[in-house]
Amino acid sequence: MACARGDRQALQQLYQRESRYLLGVALRIVRQRQQAEDVLHDAFISIWQRAETFNPARGEGRGWIYSVVRNAALNMVRSGARQVDVSEDAAEAIDDQAALAAYATAADPFELRADLGRLEGCLGGLEPARRDCILYAYVEGCSHGEIAERLQTPLGTVKAWIQRGMRALRECMA
Amino acid sequence: MSSGTASSGFGNFEDIDALAGEYVLGTLSANARAAVEARMRDEPALRDAVQAWEARLLPLASLAPPADPSPALWSRIERTLGSVAAAAAAAPKAGQPARASGFASWWNNLQLWRGLAAGGFAAAALMVAVLVTRPAPTPQYMVVLVAPQDKSPGWVIQTTSSRQLSLVPLGTIEVPPQKTLQFWTKADQWRGPVSLGLVKQGQTLRIPIDKLPPLEPNQLFELTLEPENGSPIDRPTGPIQFIGRAVKVL
């Protein structure tokens, strides 16, 4: 990566090229524009500081940058900046049967319109409920509790769906 | 065994791959996330598992609709980069030259040093970075917190907008297990320090300014090492890890 050489201009080019996509990723997770811009600010400082230790052999530069932004956004929401968590107990108490019935009638919240390559096939192979848990978590930054609330599904079920879904994804993409 | 103690908090994960997967997915709690990040530094297997999951799931990032940042964001990033580079240049142990030119002018600015010396508190430990490129519309304060022993800069405090104060880490700070860094401030006339909260490792701490008394020149800021949940009393109990004083930037 060009900014591994400490080139400020390269960082700016990177910003110009990627910032609207990176801000989109952050915004979906933290939900508030000012906070999303804070995330992007912190992430670019971090990218600049860590660029010299960044090893392109370990992974694609672009992917690393997205990880820096996602981690900054997730750290922000997990440390309580986004106060929408339902308590785990409350989520656990949601009635199983009613929950599943409600879920079955809900519209599919994710359209897999982007080109996701091999991942798309593997996601498509998952049961829709497991797939949606994974997407709610990755794209929207939802915690287990938030997903349970959205899907009106007990927390334990959500956790199990995610664990099994992730295992299936890993096997599918191996 | 660092891995043994670190994993005790989330014993549900039978294998590190499942743990890495949920870390990347984002479903772990703040504490579990911090523990994974700490373990990754010493455990190449966990690091590799995290990177593999990042690569697997990366295409999902394209599902988020793009959003254009406000025009001011890039200048804000540049401003912070300026102060970070200045802090790095100011570190006595850092033998590297400043990344950008133009820092000599602020470094030689006598007024700054006078402001520092007036503090009377370990003036040698204080290093202040100033943004010379962009005059701020309202008075802003700038503080660099340095380690008392080797004077290496560890954090920058900025009033990045008129509404909030940010404590920005300049690098990775190691905190012993079951310990946390607590952020304190004390102005000259105050009777004692006031806690500004606990610092999450590697993260920027943001504090709404309207919850604080107005910042004053020379106001002291410090990070002390405290028990995991913070100091049990209303003042610092552990050793100072980083310290600095506020300087007004015009």
What are A87-122's pLDDT values in tens digits? 444 344 333 333 334 433 444 444 444 457 788 888
pTM: 0.58
Which percentage of chain B shows pLDDT scores above 90? 19
User: B30–A79: do the CB atoms touch at under 8 Å?
Assistant: yes
What's the pLDDT score for residue A7? 64
Q: Give strand pairing partners of B199.
A: B181
Report whether pLDDT(A156) > 90.
Answer: yes
- Pairing status of strand B153-158 against strand B140-146: antiparallel
Quick one: average pLDDT of A49-74?
73
pLDDT higher than threshold 50 for residue B136: no
Contact B182, B231 (CB under 8 A): yes
> Residue A119 and residue B57: Cβ atoms within 8 Å?
yes
Give the minimum alpha-carbon distance from B108 to chain A in angstroms, rounded to a whole number.
24
Instruction: Encode burial over A125-159: b for 16+ CB neighbours within 10 A, e otherwise.
Output: ebeebbbbbbbbbbbbbbbbbbbbbbbbbbbebbb
B197: left (phi over 0), alpha (psi -120 to 50) or beta: left
Can you tell me the mean pLDDT for B32-37?
Answer: 91
Beta bridge partners of B142: B158, B247
B58: which chain A residues are within 8 Å (Cβ-Cβ)?
A: 63, 66-67
Determine whether the interchain pair B63/A74 forms a contact, defined as Cβ–Cβ distance below 8 Å. no
Q: Per-residue pLDDT for B137 more than 90?
A: no
Q: How far apart are CA A20 and CA A24, in angstroms?
A: 6
What is the reported pLDDT for B220? Answer: 86
Average pLDDT, chain A: 76
Stretch A125-146: mean pLDDT = 91
In the predicted structure, residue A81 carries a pLDDT above the cut 90: no
Nearest to A75 among B21, B171, B203 (CB): B203
The predicted structure's pLDDT at residue A100: 38
Both tokens of B116, joined, read: 């520092």
